[in-house]
């Protein structure tokens, strides 16, 4: 049971990290812009972190075979795990976005005064 719990935690962390990397990072921007320029549903997918995290969770849960044996049906348990990992990764993202990223954002930090309020 401990191993399964650690698997779920890792799947959540991986989903959040992959989503953040693909949706927000500068290094992936050229690829993201190319995909968005095509105007397809894939372009929309790469514009929405919430949407992308569903597919990231699907890939991570499927590849790591992380699932809770809830229904005795492999595919249903896998699907339920995808939605659970997706949702938990969104909570983690919201926490990081609100509390941690603000700490590292230069708009909120002054070297001589420490934390400053931007008025937002």
Question: What is the domain range of residue 19?
Answer: 2-102
Burial class (CB in 10 A: 0-12, 13-18, 19+), 11: buried
The reply to whether 59 falls in a domain is yes
The reply to whether 120 falls in a domain is no
Instruction: Write out pLDDT tens, residues 27-59.
Output: 888 888 888 888 788 888 888 888 899 999 999
State the pTM of this model: 0.74
Q: 89 near 12, Cβ under 8 Å?
A: yes
What distance separates the 2 farthest-apart alpha carbons in the chain? 59
The reply to whether 42 falls in a domain is yes
The reply to whether 66 falls in a domain is yes
The reply to whether 117 falls in a domain is no
Count up the domains in the chain and report the number: 1
The reply to whether 13 falls in a domain is yes
Instruction: Write out pLDDT tens, residues 61-111.
Output: 999 988 888 898 999 999 999 999 999 998 888 887 777 665 555 555 455
Chain Cα centroid distance, residue 6: 17
Burial class (CB in 10 A: 0-12, 13-18, 19+), 29: exposed
The reply to whether 113 falls in a domain is no
């Amino acid at each position: 049971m401990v191993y399964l719990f650690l698997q779920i935690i890792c799947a959540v962390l991986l989903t959040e990290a992959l989503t953040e990397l693909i949706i927000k990072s500068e290094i992936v921007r050229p690829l993201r812009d190319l995909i968005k320029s095509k105007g397809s549903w894939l372009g929309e997918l790469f514009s929405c972190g919430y949407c992308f995290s569903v597919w990231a969770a699907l890939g991570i849960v499927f590849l790591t075979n992380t699932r809770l044996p809830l229904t005795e049906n492999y595919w249903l348990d896998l699907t339920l795990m995808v939605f659970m990992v997706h949702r938990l990764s969104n909570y983690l993202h919201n926490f990081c976005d609100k509390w941690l990223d603000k700490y590292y954002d230069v708009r909120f930090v002054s070297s001589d005064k420490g934390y400053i309020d931007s008025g937002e």
